[in-house]
Structure 1
Amino acid sequence: MRQTGAGRRTQGPRTEAVCLSISVVVYWPDVVQLERTLSTLRDCVTALQRTAPRLSASLFVVDNGGAPDMTSSVTAFADLGIPCTMIAGHGNIGYGAGHNLALAQADSTYHLVLNPDVELAADALEKALAFLDSHTDYGLLAPYICDERGEQQFLCRRFPTVLDLLARGFFPAKLRALFGPRLARYEMRDVVNEHDMVIDPPIVSGCFMLFRTDVLRRLHGFDDHYFLYFEDYDLSLRTHAVSKVVYLPAVRILHHGGGASRKGWQHVRLFVESMVRFFNRFGWKWL
């Protein structure tokens, strides 16, 4: 499963066209974080344009509610030759369904599903697309993810049990510590690190999912029956039926996200509802 040598080989500018679409779904976002996401995304596009002068890219911002004035961001992307399309007026239809609206309009080779609370390293897209260009059997790529303190977030996962999810998400710290070994296994800490590529991790995080667009279309995108939570678990597991998945730590992002239990009872309710839907679909594992 694990391989070393995750770095990209040195190469000159691409001669072939690179076609990339990106979707970001927002719902009353933290405006400062959203601007950091878009600013680092612009830095990525600028770096990519140096190695892919025939880059064709498009950005879709899906407003599920509360989006700020995006005029300056739209202009900034337009100055790079990147059209930015705002999709709005549909209300809060959920995370996966929002990305599906963008996918329906995308005309690309690669499609990036991106959270509005992520910051990208300047070379993240350059390295990710270089890998996918030269490894055509992979349809989904996941990056190395760290938090604000620079510590790795272990967001690649093995198939969970109900106990894993409850212990990780809701147990107090002292009680959760008793389950440390089993949670470490669930989070794949035995194979996921900052150096080694991992082939076919069962589940990867929805905060950054870089797909071949044709693979994502074959899967019909996210299952929009999940309003929030577990839509990325569902999509990850379904991807294995049609394509290989890779964790590539040479691709780096910072993720500001937090757990459902820290966001209030409404998020706890949505988490539990989606968890039940997930296990009903893929089979219940309790302990």
Structure 2
Amino acid sequence: MNSTGLDHQRNDLSVSIVVYHPDERLLASTLASLQAACEALADGSARPVGLTIVDNGGAPAMDTFFAPLRAAGIQCNVISGQGNVGYGGGHNLAIAAAQSRYHLVLNPDVELQRDSLVRALAFLEQSQETGLLAPWIGGVDGHQQYLCRRFPTVLDLFVRGFLPSSLRKPFARRLAHYEMRDQLDASNVVWDPPIISGCFMLFRTDVLAQLGGFDDRYFLYFEDYDLSLRAHDVARVAYVPQVRILHHGGGASRKGMQHVKLFVTSACRFFNRFGWKWL
């Protein structure tokens, strides 16, 4: 395993992004939005930021991507050579080296609103009991993605993950309940949603260290469900819609049979740990 450009200076914010044969266009958009959000953060006060890209395979040469970030004062690092250790395992490599007050787990298909980090860190500094923050998440269609969740049943996961939209109508009420549509809106903070999305998880780093990071026995899928549920044991979790991001993600069933197998394997591991709910 190799690390390049590593700087162990204590940062106010550390960010980890795990990539595996990434869409370079989306990755460039993610990093450009991160740069803009960090520049907005620096407008108010000096906040050192460190970014770690964990290359699980197929990453492009990062120097071109890093040049504008470094010019903006962001410390940049790549961890590579470990092979594909999975989503949670990859983030754990960066989390283990984090020396920061806050750590952001970020997907390479997310764009941050320019004021997102300003608003997020301001909330955490005003709410010391909050150890994990979730944002308002929008899709490319402009509509809200309801990615905070109640504890799932097997039926919820099957309907949402694998049924085409034309066949979901009889399940609309139960899916709305699972997706917390009765609570999540564009203006009100929601305290302690059971599960939040791994596409953007902003932690106090000491809370994340106390939790031991992700359970890397999940290779892909449900590692964020697992970590969210464990986070409630040590801190408050807050959905803060004033913090906004755009998410380009898609479901497992649309990514091929290998992703379906990974989804089912991780779902079984999740239910074995936290208890099975079928209907």
- AA at the equivalent of 2:21: W
- Quote the RMSD (CA, aligned, Å): 1.0
- AA at the equivalent of 2:17: V
Q: State the SS of the aligned residue for 1:210.
A: strand
Structure 1 stretches (4+) deviating beyond 6 angstroms?
A: none
Aligned 8 A contact 2:156 2:175 in 1: yes
Shift of 1:56: 1.4
Aligned 8 A contact 2:107 2:198 in 1: yes
Matches within 5 A, 1:1-287: 19-53=12-46, 55-287=47-279
- AA at the equivalent of 1:35: A
Measured against aligned partners, the alpha-carbon deviations of 1:112-151 in whole angstroms (never above 9, x if no partner) come to 0000000000000000000001110000000000100111
Shift of 1:83: 1.1
- AA at the equivalent of 2:187: H
Shift of 1:73: 2.1
Unaligned runs of 5+ in 2: 1-9
Unaligned runs of 5+ in 1: 1-16
Shift of 1:173: 2.3
Measured against aligned partners, the alpha-carbon deviations of 1:210-236 in whole angstroms (never above 9, x if no partner) come to 000000000000000000000000000
Aligned 8 A contact 1:48 1:123 in 2: yes
Q: State the SS of the aligned residue for 1:139.
A: strand
Q: State the SS of the aligned residue for 1:21.
A: strand
Q: Distance in 1 between matches of 2:29 and 2:73?
A: 20
Aligned 8 A contact 1:18 1:52 in 2: no
Q: Distance in 1 between matches of 2:169 and 2:60?
A: 40
Query: 2:7 is matched with which residue?
Result: none
Shift of 1:18: 6.8
Q: State the SS of the aligned residue for 1:184.
A: helix
Q: Distance in 2 between matches of 1:37 and 1:286?
A: 37
Q: Distance in 2 between matches of 1:277 and 1:185?
A: 23
Q: State the SS of the aligned residue for 1:109.
A: strand
Shift of 1:265: 0.3
What TM-score do the two structures reach when normalised by structure 2?
0.95
- AA at the equivalent of 1:162: V
Measured against aligned partners, the alpha-carbon deviations of 1:62-104 in whole angstroms (never above 9, x if no partner) come to 0000101111222222212221010000011100000000011
Measured against aligned partners, the alpha-carbon deviations of 1:210-266 in whole angstroms (never above 9, x if no partner) come to 000000000000000000000000000000000000000000000000000000000
What TM-score do the two structures reach when normalised by structure 1?
0.93
Q: Distance in 2 between matches of 1:192 and 1:57?
A: 30
Q: Give percent identity, aligned residues only.
A: 61
Q: Distance in 2 between matches of 1:60 and 1:160?
A: 32
